[in-house]
Each structure stands twice: as structure tokens, then as C-alpha cells.
């Protein structure tokens, strides 16, 4: 390969690393969200979703570096450097997810009177913590898994590695469903069905907020249940043998990504600037504030 071609290849690959974040669907949603909320970008939900995108974007760039070095093959198991580069991307992805998962609570907590005395909200925080711990454990699992044994012993430890990953994914998907359910009932009982909000029943912004909150939780829960069922398939031997893990992993990533897309859509669609009166003690309450 000539020197000119080497330079072109190098520039092309570096460009892929730099522009990897801009190929993410979250980039476009983040831009639209910031534009429509230009007067409210300081609020907690906006900060959460922006940070979620930034962390995932860094992960995408790091992953692209790994792809340039090794491509899509098992050379990742050949050295600690390649292994750590690959799963450094995973660290950023899962940290981004943990930040994004908190969005539901950031939209719920401001409307709960005496939040730390509300048992449903406390349970919501507990389930969120358990969900986050599962993702944290998956990060630790990747970094401390004895990948050298895969090189030394072949498929036996390779299969154990993937079995371990799917076991943790099953835990994560279960608590993801539980988290969505608990948050839904918290909002239903303590927000939508409370008499103190009857006075704002005709408020346009309130109606939109309530409608979007219900739709968001509904669709997020549907995707979470779908992901749980898909991961559960990997634990059922007949189905596991029929469906390749690569095939299941592809659709798992889609099902995991869609709930986060819904969060951005939700935040974009509630771009009203109306101030919602809650009760006599809170004359006006911004629906975005925390």
C-alpha cells in the first residue's frame, strides 16, 4: 500500500471515530430536544438525557477504535489491551443507560408530596438501584472475566462467557420491567388519581403532560417486557439451540434502545411552557422542574 493510500486510510478511519457519535439516533433527538426546550435546558430531565447521549457517544467512538484495530472477530480475546478497549466502550454505554434510567424518577419525584415518606416512590428508588447494580456488575464481569482461558481452552470458556453475560442480562431485564411497573403505579396513585389535581383537569399543558407520561411508561414497559422475554429464550434449551445468540443479541439491542428513544420523544413532545397550578401551597409549578 502506497504512502498516499496509507494517509487516506488513516484519515478515513480517524473520521469514523470522530463522527461515530453523530451517527447515533440519540444525537438528532438531543439536538431537537435542546432546540424545543431552549428556555428550559437547565432542568434535570434535559440534563439527564443530554448526559445519557454524551456517555453513549463516547462509547460509540471507543468502540469504533476497537473495530478499526480488530474488526468483527474474536481477536479481542488475544490481548488484554484489545479486551479492555472493547469493554471501555461498554462502560460508557452502560453508564449512559444508568443515567437515562433515572429519567423516569426525575419526571415523577417533583409531583410527590413528601417523597421520602412515600413508600411507592421509595420502592421505585430501590428498584432503580437494583437495576443500576445489575449494569454495574455486567461492567465488572467483563473486565474481570479470565479471557485468557478462552484462548487456552477454546469454546468451553467462550460459551461460559456468553452464558454469564446472558444471566446478568436476564437480571437486568427483569428489574427493568419491575422498575417500569413500580413507577407506573407510583404516578397513577400519587399523581393522576389524586383529588388535589382535579382543579387543573382542564389545563392544556397538564393534560399533555399526563397523556405523555402514560404513553411513555406504557411503551417503555412494552419494550422492557419484550426484552425480558427475548433474554429468557437464552435460558430455554430447545429455543436456545434453534436461535443463534448473535441473532438474539441483535434484537436485544433494538429492544433495549427503543425505551431510551421514547424518553427523548416524551421530553420533546411536552415542550409546553405553561405553568401548572398544583394546589394552594404551590401556586405555580413548572412541569419540567425538579
Alpha-carbon distances of 230 from 42, 45, 101, 167, 218, rounded to whole Å: 38, 29, 20, 12, 19
Compute how many other C-beta atoms are within 10 angstroms of the C-beta atom of residue 1: 7
- Per-residue b/e over 235-250, b at no fewer than 16 CB within 10 Å? eeeeeeeeeeeeebbe
* Lowest mean per-residue pLDDT among 8-22, 63-77, 180-194: 63-77
Whether the pLDDT of residue 282 is over 60: the answer is no
**Residue 132's pLDDT is what?**
96
57 pLDDT band (50/70/90 cuts)? very high
**Residue 99's pLDDT is what?**
95
Cα dihedral 222/225/230/234 (nearest 10)? 170
Query: Could you tell me where the DSSP H helices lie in 145-244?
Result: 148-153, 155-187, 204-233, 237-242
What is the pTM for the complete model shown? 0.82
Most confident of 47-51, 80-84, 145-149, 158-162: 47-51
74 pLDDT band (50/70/90 cuts)? low
Strand, helix or coil for residue 281 = coil
Whether the pLDDT of residue 176 is over 80: the answer is yes
110 pLDDT band (50/70/90 cuts)? confident
Cα dihedral 74/169/33/273 (nearest 10)? -170
Amino acid at each position: 500500500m502506497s504512502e498516499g493510500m496509507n494517509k487516506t486510510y488513516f484519515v478515513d478511519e480517524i473520521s469514523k471515530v470522530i463522527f461515530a457519535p453523530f451517527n447515533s439516533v440519540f444525537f438528532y433527538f438531543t439536538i431537537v430536544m435542546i432546540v424545543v426546550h431552549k428556555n428550559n435546558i437547565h432542568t434535570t430531565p434535559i440534563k439527564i438525557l443530554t448526559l445519557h447521549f454524551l456517555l453513549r457517544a463516547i462509547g460509540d467512538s471507543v468502540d469504533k477504535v476497537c473495530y478499526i484495530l480488530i474488526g468483527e472477530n474474536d481477536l479481542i480475546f488475544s490481548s488484554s489491551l484489545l479486551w479492555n478497549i472493547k469493554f471501555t466502550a461498554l462502560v460508557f454505554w452502560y453508564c449512559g443507560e444508568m443515567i437515562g434510567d433515572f429519567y423516569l424518577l426525575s419526571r415523577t419525584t417533583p409531583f410527590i408530596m413528601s417523597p421520602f415518606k412515600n413508600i411507592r416512590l421509595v420502592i421505585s428508588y430501590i428498584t432503580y438501584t437494583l437495576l443500576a447494580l445489575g449494569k454495574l456488575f455486567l461492567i465488572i464481569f467483563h473486565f474481570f472475566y479470565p479471557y485468557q482461558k478462552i484462548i487456552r481452552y477454546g469454546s468451553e470458556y467462550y460459551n461460559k462467557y456468553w452464558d454469564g453475560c446472558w444471566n446478568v442480562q436476564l437480571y437486568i431485564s427483569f428489574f427493568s420491567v419491575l422498575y417500569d411497573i413500580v413507577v407506573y403505579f407510583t404516578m397513577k396513585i400519587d399523581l393522576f388519581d389524586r383529588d388535589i389535581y382535579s382543579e387543573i383537569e382542564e389545563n392544556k399543558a397538564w393534560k399533555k403532560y399526563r397523556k405523555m407520561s402514560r404513553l411513555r411508561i406504557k411503551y417503555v414497559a412494552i419494550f422492557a417486557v419484550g426484552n425480558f422475554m427475548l433474554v429468557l429464550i437464552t435460558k430455554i434449551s430447545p429455543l436456545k439451540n434453534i436461535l443463534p445468540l448473535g441473532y438474539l443479541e441483535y434484537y436485544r439491542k433494538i429492544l433495549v434502545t427503543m425505551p431510551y428513544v421514547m424518553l427523548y420523544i416524551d421530553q420533546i413532545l411536552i415542550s409546553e411552557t405553561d405553568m401548572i397550578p398544583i394546589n394552594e401551597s404551590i401556586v405555580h409549578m413548572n412541569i419540567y422542574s425538579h
